[in-house]
């Protein structure tokens, strides 16, 4: 397959799955196995920047408020949610790195599918959003660093199950991804500087991947905001269940 087409698909998958409850990292690891493409640190950085810009474009007003009022309740909640995420990621770092080989993908996709179904069946929208909700979402985000466990899916579900308003949980899920994406970028750039970033793909193909990831990211965010309010997350659980089975045969 043409490298242009591969990077096009990688950009599309990154943009859509970063914000839909299906795990972007899991899909990219799976694509790498299917296409036989070696993971590129430089491409990972470019795609992360693209999806970060997607969030900034959609939520620029909210981000501006956070910057203007650094000690507001919303800003403190983001900090509170980020702390458990970082602690969990650091504690499980060796296992996380090993998981990017793809061995855990089938069970990780299955976990996300079950979480979506449980949320649809048992969650009650209590129309509130507290520090407790933020902490629970931060813990969920920590475990979502494993490929196959959706960051958006697990955080939104955790927030709703903790009694948060669906719309607020969805918006907060996207906003709380900003510091995590930034931290991931810093780590990837540091690794790249230490080991040397190799650009082994055509610049034009990389630009296409960036634009596709950016545009599809904007679409996915807006789509997810509307879908969560309607309570249709279980649709994705059907897809993830099928993907778990397919991934098992691809990986093993």
How many CA atoms, within 13 angstroms, populate the side-chain half-sphere of residue 103?
Answer: 6
Q: Is the model's pLDDT at 245 over the cut of 80? A: yes
Tell me the C-alpha distance between 44 and 47, whole Å: 5
Q: Is the model's pLDDT at 117 over the cut of 70? A: yes
pTM metric for this prediction? 0.90
Q: Is the model's pLDDT at 120 over the cut of 70? A: yes
Query: Are the C-beta atoms of 216 and 18 separated by less than 8 Å?
Result: no
Query: Are the C-beta atoms of 166 and 204 separated by less than 8 Å?
Result: no
**Which structure tokens are listed for 210?**
């960036």
202: left (phi over 0), alpha (psi -120 to 50) or beta: beta
Share of the chain above pLDDT 70, in %: 93
Q: Chain-wide mean pLDDT for the chain?
A: 88
Q: Which of 9-23, 130-144, 185-199, 213-227 has the lowest mean pLDDT?
A: 185-199
- pLDDT digit string, tens, across residues 38-55: 666 677 788 889 999 999
- pLDDT digit string, tens, across residues 72-110: 999 999 999 999 999 999 999 888 888 887 788 999 999
Distance from the Cα of residue 102 to its chain's centroid:
17
Closest among 204, 209, 207 to 8, alpha carbons compared: 209
Strand, coil or helix: what is 164? strand
What pLDDT, on the 0 to 100 scale, is given for residue 212?
96
Beta bridge partners, 141, equal none
Determine phi and psi for 127, rounding to 5 degrees: 60, 45
**Which structure tokens are listed for 19?**
């914000």
Strand, coil or helix: what is 234? helix
What pLDDT, on the 0 to 100 scale, is given for residue 133?
94
What pLDDT, on the 0 to 100 scale, is given for residue 35?
72
- pLDDT digit string, tens, across residues 173-220: 999 999 998 988 888 787 777 766 656 678 888 899 999 999 999 999
**Which structure tokens are listed for 37?**
């493409």
């Amino acid at each position: 397959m043409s490298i242009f087409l591969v990077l096009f698909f990688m950009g599309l998958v990154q943009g859509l799955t970063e914000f839909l409850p299906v795990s972007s990292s899991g899909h990219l690891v799976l694509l790498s196995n299917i296409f036989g493409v070696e993971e590129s640190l430089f491409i990972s950085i470019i795609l992360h920047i693209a999806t970060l810009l997607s969030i900034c474009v959609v939520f620029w007003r909210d981000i501006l408020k956070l910057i203007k009022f650094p000690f507001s309740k919303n800003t403190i909640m983001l900090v509170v949610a980020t702390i458990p995420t970082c602690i969990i990621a650091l504690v499980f770092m060796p296992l996380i790195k090993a998981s990017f080989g793809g061995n855990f993908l089938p069970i990780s996709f299955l976990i996300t599918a079950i979480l979506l179904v449980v949320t649809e069946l048992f969650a009650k929208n209590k129309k509130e959003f507290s520090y407790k909700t933020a902490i629970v979402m931060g813990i969920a985000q920590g475990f979502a660093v494993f490929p196959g466990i959706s960051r958006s899916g697990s955080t939104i579900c955790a927030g709703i199950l903790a009694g948060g308003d669906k719309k607020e949980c969805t918006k907060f899920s996207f906003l709380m991804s900003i510091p995590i994406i930034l931290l991931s970028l810093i780590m990837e750039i540091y690794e790249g500087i230490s080991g040397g970033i190799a650009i082994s793909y055509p610049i034009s193909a990389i630009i296409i991947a960036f634009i596709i990831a950016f545009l599809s990211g904007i679409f996915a965010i807006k789509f997810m905001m509307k879908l969560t309010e309607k309570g249709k997350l279980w649709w994705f659980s059907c897809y993830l269940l099928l993907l778990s089975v397919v991934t098992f045969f691809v990986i093993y």
